[in-house]
């Protein structure tokens, strides 16, 4: 696990009073792997025409994206010092009009994946080799737009599209018997289930592909992973840590 990134998430959320530590901890290992080992991009040119695209449809987990972009020097200097502050470019959801390397403004769940499908289809039509990746939440998978998009992606053979599902059991609070992998398979997607906090399994999952179908990587994640106090589904979903709680989180990650 990426403990230093988790520490940074806790620090910026405490400073900004923004929230969503557990949602960010759930996906930070995957986002870090995407930007360090998977995505093709030009660090000096966010709009490089041959880049791969990443859309964080689960926009409320964007603190995980911000700390990875900061780590790789892909944000303006000191941008995180103004996270969710007046005059800053970083908010509690991604904004493509302000933040480099953000491809879509997301936050209203179910919107990022249709944009990813449209992007992948556009590159198919024009014959480009760009790949498109989209991260959605398992609760978000209750949105009808997810399955409408999944249906289109299969029918258009969008093998340049990979969707990552943050399967941290948020959806189980409403639908405890929902078989998420079976649903994706029924829509014709190449489906891979893996531990989203195990680096070896993350690497193996992203090496999977199918020339005939889009791919979905279903990550068995833990909401709030890394600190027992924040793990699971409860008051920490949008809670801001006190100074004492921040110290506890940082100590637990040391």
The domain that holds 94 is classified in CATH as 3.40.50.970
- What is the number of domains present in the chain? 1
Where in the sequence is the domain holding 7, given as residue range(s)? Answer: 3-252
pLDDT at 203 over 80: yes
Q: Round the average pLDDT of the chain to a whole number and report it.
A: 93
Q: What are phi and psi of 167, to 5 degrees?
A: -90, 70
Integer distance in angstroms from the first to the last C-alpha of the chain?
12
In tens, the pLDDT along 62-80 reads: 999 999 999 999 998 888 8
- Mean pLDDT, rounded, for 210-221: 92
In tens, the pLDDT along 128-165 reads: 999 999 999 999 999 999 999 999 999 999 999 999 99
Residue 105's alpha-carbon distances to 96, 133, 212, in angstroms, are: 5, 15, 30
> What is this structure's pTM?
0.95
Percent of the chain with pLDDT over 70: 100
| H or E, element range at 14 | helix 3-16
Neighbours of 220 (CB within 10 A): 16
Residues 210, 191: Cα–Cα separation, whole Å: 10
- Confidence category of residue 92, pLDDT binned at 50, 70, 90: confident
Give the residues across from 134 on adjacent strands: 55, 163
- Helices 3-16 and 62-71 cross at an angle (nearest 10°) of 120
pLDDT at 81 over 90: no
Residues 161, 60: Cα–Cα separation, whole Å: 22
């Amino acid at each position: 696990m990426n403990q230093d990134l988790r520490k940074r998430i806790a620090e910026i959320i405490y400073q900004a009073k923004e929230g969503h530590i557990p949602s960010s901890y759930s996906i930070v290992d995957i986002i870090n792997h995407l930007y360090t080992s998977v995505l093709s991009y030009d660090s000096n040119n966010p709009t490089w025409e041959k880049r791969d695209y990443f859309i964080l449809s689960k926009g409320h987990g964007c603190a995980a994206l911000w700390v990875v972009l900061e780590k790789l020097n892909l944000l303006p200097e000191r941008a995180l010092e103004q996270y969710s502050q007046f005059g800053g470019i970083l908010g509690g959801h991604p904004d493509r009009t302000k933040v480099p390397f953000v491809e879509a403004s997301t936050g209203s769940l179910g919107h990022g994946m249709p944009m990813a499908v449209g992007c992948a289809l556009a590159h198919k039509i024009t014959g480009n080799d760009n790949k498109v990746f989209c991260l959605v939440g398992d609760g978000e998978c209750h949105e009808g737009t997810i399955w409408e998009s999944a249906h289109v992606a299969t029918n258009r053979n969008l093998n340049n599209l990979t969707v990552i599902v943050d399967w941290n059991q948020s959806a189980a609070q409403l639908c405890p018997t929902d078989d998420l992998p079976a649903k994706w398979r029924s829509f014709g997607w190449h489906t891979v289930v893996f531990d989203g906090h195990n680096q070896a399994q993350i690497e193996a999952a992203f090496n999977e592909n199918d020339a005939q179908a889009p791919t979905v990587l279903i990550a068995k994640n833990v909401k709030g992973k890394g600190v027992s106090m924040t793990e699971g589904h409860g008051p920490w979903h949008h809670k801001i840590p006190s100074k004492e709680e921040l110290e506890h989180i940082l100590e637990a990650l040391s």
